[in-house]
Amino acid sequence: MVNRLRILLLGSGGREHALAWTLSRSPLVEKIFCIPGNGGTATGDTKIENGPSGISMVDFARLVDFSKQKKVNLVIPGSEEPIVQGIERWFKKEGIPVFGPSKGAARLEGSKCFAKDFMARHSIPTARYWNCSTAEEAYSCLDKIDCPVVVKASGLAGGKGVLMPSTPEENRAAVHTLMIQKPYGEAGAEIVIEELLSGDEISITLVSDGSSLALFPVGQDAQRILDGNTGANTGGMGVYAPTDLLSAEQIDRITKTILEPTIKGIREEGMAHIEDTHPTFTFDLYSTGHPFMGFICVGLMMTSSGPKLIEYNVRFGDPEAQTLLPLLDGESRPRRNNIGMP
């Protein structure tokens, strides 16, 4: 007899409410504990309850203790923070699986500089870019660049660390904002200056066990805060799906040139662990053959020369989860692809 799932779900947004609602409908799920949760996860379903207040999503020692007390046998981190800080390794040591990537693989979201170099190493189509670790280096790059650019904080900034200047003066001001004024703290210690792409922006969410992947329906997200695709970038104002922006042939091309090379690249580079501060053990940057496990949400631009990758999120996007998960009851279901791995 298979043990029913007792799940710890980490997060407090609409994404976590959508995940909890979807999971609660499965006969395989016995109980879902949400930390910190929200009003939606606190009401309406006897399978779902919020955990005790005061436990941080990155207080891994307390989360492990709570999980042992409640006999949790699966952890699902909804937001990026616990993933990037290495929750997978903490729970793996205790024999509790985490549906999410290792700390090493999470650098694909946690460091845009790392992600762009990863794309280059694996010939994944993306915009031209320049990684800069000082403001002086960035100003020097801007003097040589002959195209409109986007300036991005490399670290996590809640979707708000992307500036879209339109003049040379604004280019330099964007660098000054992120690297000197530092409204997002150390997220702006390094930046990416990136060629501005034009076209339709779409998002694709997939799940992977490291040897295969399954695609959710394609969605189109609205990230800028004002109507008409104007104003500052946000973590996401909303998504609609499914969209008819992509043909089956285009989805196949994206899968072959972007999605499959991503999963294969993670496995080939062995992004198992990066050095951690766990009190009882440390680990190396690379461990051969460690696969990706979890969600990836990729942002793409459909340019005149084909699809180009903008960014990785190593978890379900918030508006994407709220839009895509309800579609699982309809005709649109995740499409599984094997990608030639043992």
Q: Flag whether pLDDT at 279 surpasses 90.
A: no
Answer yes or no: is 153 within a domain: yes
pLDDT tens digits along 166-185: 999 999 999 999 999 999 99
Q: Are residues 170 and 212 in the same domain?
A: no
Q: Flag whether pLDDT at 300 surpasses 50.
A: yes
**Of residues 232 and 133, which shows the higher confidence score?**
133
**Of residues 269 and 136, which shows the higher confidence score?**
136
Q: Flag whether pLDDT at 288 surpasses 90.
A: no
Is the distance from CB of 179 to CB of 189 less than 8 angstroms?
A: yes
Per the structure, the count of domains in the chain is: 3
Query: What pLDDT score does 45 carry?
Result: 78
Answer yes or no: is 122 within a domain: no
Query: What pLDDT score does 331 carry?
Result: 42
Query: What pLDDT score does 243 carry?
Result: 81
Asked whether the CA dihedral 261, 80, 214, 307 is positive or negative, the reply is negative
Q: Flag whether pLDDT at 258 surpasses 50.
A: yes
Q: Are residues 228 and 318 in the same domain?
A: yes
Three-state SS at 64: helix
Is the distance from CB of 192 to CB of 112 less than 8 angstroms?
A: yes
Q: Are residues 182 and 89 in the same domain?
A: no
Q: What pTM value is reported for the model?
A: 0.85
pLDDT tens digits along 79-128: 999 999 999 999 999 999 999 999 989 999 999 999 999 999 999 999 99
Q: Flag whether pLDDT at 156 surpasses 60.
A: yes
Q: Are residues 221 and 191 in the same domain?
A: no
Specify the long-range contacts of residues 48-54, CB closer than 8 Å, at least 24 apart: 48/20, 48/21, 48/24, 51/8
Where among 175, 195, 215 does a domain terminate? Answer: 195
- The per-residue pLDDT of the chain, averaged, comes to 87
Segment 70-79 shows an average pLDDT of: 96
What's the pLDDT band for 235 if we cut at 50, 70, 90?
low
What's the pLDDT band for 245 if we cut at 50, 70, 90?
confident
Q: Flag whether pLDDT at 286 surpasses 50.
A: no
Which CATH number belongs to the domain containing residue 143 in this structure? 3.30.1490.20
Cα separation, 328 vs 334, in Å, equals: 8
Which CATH number belongs to the domain containing residue 60 in this structure? 3.40.50.20
Which residues form the domain of 284?
200-338
